[in-house]
Amino acid sequence: MPVGFRTLFSLVLCAAAAGAALAHVAIDVVGDFALANDSYDHVAHGSRELVSGVALLLAVVLAGRGLRICCEIASINRFRVVVPVRRRPETLGFVGAAVAGSVLLVPAMEWLDGRLAGAPVLALDQAFGGSVLLGVITTVICAAAIALAIYAVARWLISHRDSIVTIIVTLLRRMADGVRPSVYTLTARGFTPRHRRAPNALRLCKRGPPLLLSA
């Protein structure tokens, strides 16, 4: 089953946000050693928490949507599951889109930090920590690593969706078997419970005379 456009787009946004947050921290660390003047110093970076929160929110939404889809499949038929085929163009497109999004988000994050700190960013090299080349290379590496990790996890979950559906079906079945139906439920289904007679019930009954004697 191929991944839908909305799911793939949400995954790209999640990977781009996570990659941008990681790249922003990496540029700050690498710039302290590789650059004489790191523009990320002496500036509060509140955008990192913001972008990380957005990535976490998207991950939670995607996890909830995936669980809902698995439950829907489990309620219909868990044997009609098609294992998806990995496509290299889709992988490259996903990683490329996530990297492009991260490259755009990193300077936007620094611009937001500068505006909040009262020191607006006026040049592109300042938005990348003091060096555009170093900032872009660091962002590409971090974003590509995050995108590949997210894509691998998503593909693994989709390829093992039949096992996840089986686990959900088993858990639901155990929960359903653990609840005993009431008398009203059994009566509505047409089942009338019958009580077993006691062993001495026949001996206590009043018996008539034998047929031969009465004749």
Report d(CA 127, CA 136) in Å as an integer: 10
Specify the higher pLDDT residue, 71 or 146.
146
For the segment 48-67, the average pLDDT, to the nearest whole number, is 83
Q: Mention every residue, 6+ apart, whose C-beta is less than 8 A from residue 19.
A: 98, 99, 101, 102, 139, 142, 143, 144, 145, 146, 147
CA angle 143, 54, 44 (to 5 degrees): 80
Question: Which pLDDT score is estimated for 98?
Answer: 94
Give one DSSP letter per residue of 61-109, joined into a string.
HHHHHHHHHHHHHHHH-TT---PPPP-HHHHHHHHHHHHHHHHHHHHHH
DSSP-derived letter for residue 123 is S
State both tokens at 36. Answer: 């004489």
CA angle 61, 162, 173 (to 5 degrees): 90
Report d(CA 46, CA 116) in Å as an integer: 9
Report d(CA 149, CA 41) in Å as an integer: 30
In this predicted structure, which of 37-51, 74-88, 105-119, 140-154 has the lowest mean pLDDT? 74-88
Report d(CA 188, CA 206) in Å as an integer: 36
Q: Name, of 3-17, 181-195, 199-213, the range with top average pLDDT.
A: 3-17
| Domain chopping of the chain, boundaries | 5-177
Count the Cβ atoms, other than its own, within 10 Å of residue 80: 10
State pLDDT tens for residues 109-160. 988 888 888 778 888 888 888 889 999 999 999 999 999 998 888 888 777 7
Report d(CA 128, CA 194) in Å as an integer: 80
Question: Which pLDDT score is estimated for 123?
Answer: 87
Give the three-state DSSP class for 40: coil
Contact 106, 27 (CB under 8 A): yes
Computed over every residue of the chain, the mean pLDDT equals 76
Confidence of residue 78 (pLDDT cuts 50, 70, 90): very low
Question: pTM of the entire structure?
Answer: 0.66
